């Protein structure tokens, strides 16, 4: 329970978020509300841990998501008590609370104005810059959000989270090559992030499927997607997402082999030859089969996958086996 409170709750399922926020009153009651600065009383109270404040922050996010505003206000109050309302991270949380409370667009505009006023005072207040980008994106002003985000990346180019967000905004606009470029910047900063490799592979596949670019281009992109998925598997054993993408790419390449082009070969991005592709396809099928089988059998140590991903993998396997039979 507490272990999931130590991690940001963005990716949790609604059921888990609800469960967490239902526990919020108990956790708030049982945790110390404030830590005294005086040496004498700190002798008698429990020691202050960094986890305590992480828990408050994540609990706040979960409560805001489920609409439990009372507990959210309590969490925020304690954070403000501890760190003061001029702490950059706390400022962003206060802004987040106002966004969540906002009933109409006019209120959101006011919040946006507040962010801008804060940035006037201190233009390098990164949490507030990020909140402003998120708010702009949320109210549909995408191009303003991109401008603000590129501004942030201009003065803080090592922020991989911001690069990743930029990639996501570009992707939502269908700008695949820009989205891939931004993710490549993330890889420069986090060269071992296996999920980002898989994400780039997925973006490349989608860009091939969307049919933008000519024949040459798509052959090159499929070849690159293959390499990205292979790298993600190299970095992470039994990576369902990587094998799924690999299977999709090899199926596409085997069913519809692109004509070899001189340019792709000179770049070193030409897809490998037929036998290698078939071997990769066989490996992906075998691994996907193993993962789905062991997950559904309830084997211990194989239950970390998500149900939906397993279902999708099963569908893919069934589809591919039915086409082979035909």
Partner 1 sequence: MTWFSKSTTTFGFLLLAHACYSAYEHSALQSHRAASLSSLSATTQQAAASSSLPLDISLETIVATVIITLGLVLNTTKLRPIQWRVWAGQIERAGEEGARNSSGEVDKDFVGNPFKLLESRPGFVDIRKQRKEFAEWVKQQ
> Which of 75, 76, 92, 118 lies at the binding interface for partner 1 (CB under 8 A)?
92
Phi then psi dihedrals of residue 215, to 5 deg: -60, -45
What part of residues 158-177 is at the interface with partner 1 (CB under 8 A)? 160-162, 164-165, 168
Tokens 């003061």 correspond to 84
What part of residues 33-72 is at the interface with partner 1 (CB under 8 A)? 51, 61, 64-67
DSSP secondary structure letters along 33-87:
S-----HHHHHHSPPP-HHHHHHHHHHHHHHHHHT-HHHHHHHHHHHHHHH-TTS
Structure tokens at 214: 């000519």
CA distance 203 to 221: 10
CA distance 235 to 190: 12
Nearer to partner 1, 47 or 211 (CB): 47
Q: How many CB atoms lie within 10 A of CB 187?
A: 18
Name the residue among 314, 306, 311 with its Cα closest to residue 16. 306
Nearer to partner 1, 183 or 248 (CB): 183
Number of residues that bind partner 1 (CB under 8 A): 54
CA dihedral angle for residue 211, residue 216, residue 217, residue 220, rounded to 10 degrees: 120
> Which of 38, 255, 275, 303 lies at the binding interface for partner 1 (CB under 8 A)?
303
Cβ 312 to partner 1, closest distance in Å? 15
Please name the residues in contact with 175: beta carbons below 8 A apart, sequence gap of 6 or more.
Answer: none
99 binds partner 1 (CB under 8 A): yes
Cβ 51 to partner 1, closest distance in Å? 7
The answer to whether the CB of 281 falls within 8 A of the CB of 251 is yes
326 binds partner 1 (CB under 8 A): no
What part of residues 2-31 is at the interface with partner 1 (CB under 8 A)? 3, 6-8, 10-11, 14, 17-18
112 binds partner 1 (CB under 8 A): no
88 binds partner 1 (CB under 8 A): no
290 binds partner 1 (CB under 8 A): no
Nearer to partner 1, 294 or 314 (CB): 294
Cβ 167 to partner 1, closest distance in Å? 9
Tokens 């939502």 correspond to 172
Structure tokens at 96: 């987040």
Cβ 104 to partner 1, closest distance in Å? 11
Site residues (CB under 8 A) for partner 1? 3, 6-8, 10-11, 14, 17-18, 51, 61, 64-67, 92, 96, 99-100, 102, 127, 130-131, 133-134, 137-138, 160-162, 164-165, 168, 186, 190, 192-196, 199, 234-240, 300-305
């Amino acid at each position: 329970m507490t272990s999931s409170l130590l991690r940001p709750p963005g990716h949790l399922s609604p059921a888990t978020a609800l469960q967490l926020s239902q526990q919020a009153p108990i956790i708030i009651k049982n945790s110390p509300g404030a830590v005294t600065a005086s040496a004498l009383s700190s002798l008698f109270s429990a020691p202050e841990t960094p986890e305590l404040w992480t828990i408050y922050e994540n609990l706040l996010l979960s409560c805001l998501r489920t609409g439990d505003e009372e507990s959210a206000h309590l969490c925020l109050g304690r954070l403000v008590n501890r760190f003061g309302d001029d702490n950059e991270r706390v400022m962003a949380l206060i802004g987040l609370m106002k966004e969540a409370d906002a009933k109409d667009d006019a209120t959101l505009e006011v919040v946006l104005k507040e962010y801008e006023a804060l940035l006037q005072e201190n233009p390098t207040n990164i949490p507030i810059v990020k909140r402003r980008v998120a708010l702009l994106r949320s109210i549909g002003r995408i191009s303003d959000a991109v401008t603000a985000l590129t501004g942030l990346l201009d003065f803080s180019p090592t922020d991989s989270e911001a690069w990743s967000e930029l990639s996501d905004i570009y992707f939502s606009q269908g700008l695949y090559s820009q989205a891939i470029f931004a993710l490549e910047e993330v890889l420069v900063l986090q060269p071992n992030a296996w999920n980002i490799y898989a994400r780039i592979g997925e973006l490349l596949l989608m860009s091939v499927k969307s049919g933008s670019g000519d024949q040459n281009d798509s052959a090159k992109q499929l070849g690159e997607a293959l390499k990205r998925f292979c790298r993600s598997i190299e970095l992470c054993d039994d990576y369902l997402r990587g094998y799924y993408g690999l299977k999709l790419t090899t199926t596409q390449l085997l069913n519809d082999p692109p004509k070899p082009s001189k340019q792709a070969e000179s770049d070193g991005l030409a897809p490998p030859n037929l036998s290698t592709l078939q071997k990769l396809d066989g490996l992906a099928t075998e691994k996907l089969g193993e993962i789905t089988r062991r997950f559904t059998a309830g084997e211990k140590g194989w239950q970390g996958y998500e149900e939906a991903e397993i279902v999708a993998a099963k569908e893919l396997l069934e589809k591919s086996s039915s086409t082979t039979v035909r």
